[in-house]
Amino acid sequence: MSSIIQVKHLSKEFRDIKAVNDLSFEVPAGQVYGFLGQNGAGKSTTIRMLLTLITPTAGSIEIFGMELRHHRKEILRQTGAMIEKPDLYKYLTALENLRIFALMSGMKVTEKQLMDQLAMVGLAERAKSKVRTFSQGMKQRLGIAVALVHDPRLIILDEPTNGLDPQGIADIRKLIWHLSRDLGKTLMVSSHLLGEMELIADNMLIIDKGKKIVEGKKEALLNPDTVQVEIMTDDKDKAIAVIRETNWKDCLAASANGTVLLEMQKEDIPQLNRTLAERGINIFSLRPKHTLEDFFLSLTKN
């Protein structure tokens, strides 16, 4: 499968702060790519570099097979994005906002096409209402409509469900599914709502303190046939060395913050525990983890 985005060894420093640290990842074409991390992990900084809003300190970015530094305009014409709170003209109507952004993108669209875009995000009935009367959730929906107005191949959404009630979140989930499954769009979605990402994402990237912690297909990360086991020990490095001498060496998934994470068969857990104990490794805790939230917290906790 071809990749729409290829990021290699990307870094961004702000004086003595390294916001993004040697980050590499690929976003497959036609899928929903979940971008996860705690506040301050470097998600928004990474997205801003993808959209040329800030310049990387080091590394390379290719989008649609083109180097971003040399093909900026061509790439951005095929990219739609909403970062944090959308910038809108609050004294104009939703329809007027959409018309202005369509003109700015060079698109010639009909009134019906604009209304279809508003209907897609659930705002058709408020098309002629001024944006200053909108709730934050409605502004989020209009921001997504703006991101879609020029029919982009790649859509980047930073926390698209901010301010939405449960029904609104479900509506955006259906919209993302529609854009990906029915229209073949590629979406990169940053979110802190782990349950939602578990529902919509095909692939996931988790970063912490600017570094990649884990990346892969959702099915591989959350395989129902295996159990993710978090081990906390007084000697993480020794535990990993012992595991690498056993049949569980291919089960190692990640290690961070004094813990070791494996993906393994549930029935093998007691034998693993005995093996580590026999080798003199003190186990403080050993527990199965099943959900994306469990997995995320095990990798990013302080």
Angstrom distance (rounded) from CA 98 to CA 142: 8
Distance CA 136, CA 251 (A): 44
Q: Whole-angstrom Cα distance, residue 227 to residue 91?
A: 53
pLDDT of residue 187: 96
Q: What is the pLDDT of residue 268?
A: 84
Instruction: Print the SS3 string covering the chain.
Output: CCEEEEEEEEEEEECCEEEEEEEEEEEECCCEEEEECCCCCCHHHHHHHHCCCCCCCEEEEEECCEECCCCHHHHHCCEEEECCCCCCCCCCEHHHHHHHHHHHCCCCCCHHHHHHHHHHCCCHHHCCCEHHHCCHHHHHHHHHHHHHCCCCCEEEEECCCCCCCHHHHHHHHHHHHHHHHHCCCEEEEECCCHHHHHHHCCEEEEEECCEEEEEEEHHHHCCCCCEEEEEEECCHHHHHHHHCCCCCHHHEEEEECCEEEEEECHHHHHHHHHHHHHCCCCEEEEEEECCHHHHHHHHHCC
Sheet with strand 58-63: strands edge to edge: 17-28, 3-14, 58-63, 66-67
141 vs 146: CA distance, rounded Å: 9
Tokens representing 78 are 């095929």
**What token pair was written down for 255?**
């290690």
pLDDT score for 84: 74
pTM: 0.74
- pLDDT tens per residue across all 302 residues of the chain: 489 999 999 999 998 889 999 999 999 999 999 998 887 888 999 999 999 999 999 999 999 999 999 999 999 999 999 987 788 999 999 999 999 998 888 878 889 999 999 998 889 999 999 999 998 888 888 999 999 988 899 999 998 887 778 888 888 888 899 899 988 999 999 987 777 788 889 998 989 888 988 888 876 666 656 677 888 888 888 888 998 998 888 888 767 667 888 877 777 888 888 898 888 888 888 877 655 666 666 666 65
> What pLDDT is attached to residue 161?
83
d(CA 179, CA 156): 12
Which phi and psi (to 5°) does residue 279 adopt? -90, 10
CATH of 222-300, one of 3.30.70.250, 3.40.50.10490, 3.40.1350.10, 3.65.10.10: 3.30.70.250
Instruction: Return the domain boundaries, the chain.
Output: 3-216, 222-300
Question: Residue 169: its pLDDT value, please?
Answer: 84
Would you say how long the chain is, in residues? Answer: 302
Distance CA 64, CA 50 (A): 12
Superfamily of domain 3-216: P-loop containing nucleotide triphosphate hydrolases (3.40.50.300)
- The torsion region of residue 265 among left (phi > 0), alpha (psi -120 to 50) and beta comes to beta
